[in-house]
Structures are given as structure tokens and as C-alpha cells.
Amino acid sequence: MINATKKWIFLKISGAMLIPFKLWFILNFIKIYDQNYSLVVDFFSNSLFKFLFSVFIVNAYFFSALSISEVFEDYIKNSKIKNVANRLLYISAVVIPLITIILLITL
């Protein structure tokens, strides 16, 4: 399979997966929006919510990295700059969710 086809398939699958996760997050965010700190911590202390939020964050960063990488491919002509930009993008797409998940686990 061609690399561009794989990217397209992953983009469509991760985008489709984001829809239920966004709905879940928005509905729960509405519930905890006006609550005090202890109720918010209780919400994120639940292991099911930790897992769902972690999957949501990883999927969101995966989707955004694939989308932004396509923009780099289309608009950056210099291949060295494009490669550096893509590598920094992919590194941040791994590091930021990893830090978020580690901080969530320690909560």
C-alpha cells in the first residue's frame, strides 16, 4: 500500500474515532465545569475516565499530527525544512500526550 494511502486511511479512522470521544468529553466537561476542585479531581481519579481521556488525547494528537503533516507536505517546498518540521511535529505529538497521561496517572 502506498504511504499516502495509509496516511489517508489513518486520518479518516482517527477522525471518525474522535467524534464519540469529543461528544463524551464535552458532555462530561459540562458536568464538571462549575464544580469545585475536589469533584474535578474525583472525576479524573476514576480509572475508566482516565483511560478514556488518555485514548482521546492520544487520538487527538495523532489526528492533528497527520493533518498538519499534510499541510507541511503541500506548502513547504524545501525538503530539509519539511523533514525537520515533520520530525518536530511527530516528537511533540508523542511527548505532549505522554506527559499528559503521566500527570493524569499520578493524580
11 contact partners, CB below 8 Å, separation of at least 6: 63, 66, 67, 70
Q: Is the pLDDT of residue 39 over 90?
A: no
Cell of 77: 517546498
Cell of 18: 474522535
Q: What's the pTM?
A: 0.81
Contact by Cβ (8 Å): 61, 93: yes
Contact by Cβ (8 Å): 65, 93: yes
Q: What percent of the chain has pLDDT over 90?
A: 51
> What is the number of domains present in the chain?
1
- Average pLDDT value over all residues in the chain: 89
| Integer Cα distance of 93 and 107 in angstroms | 22
Quote the domain boundaries for residue 92.
3-105
Q: Is the pLDDT of residue 88 over 90?
A: yes
Query: The CATH number of the domain where 96 resides is what?
Result: 1.20.1300.10
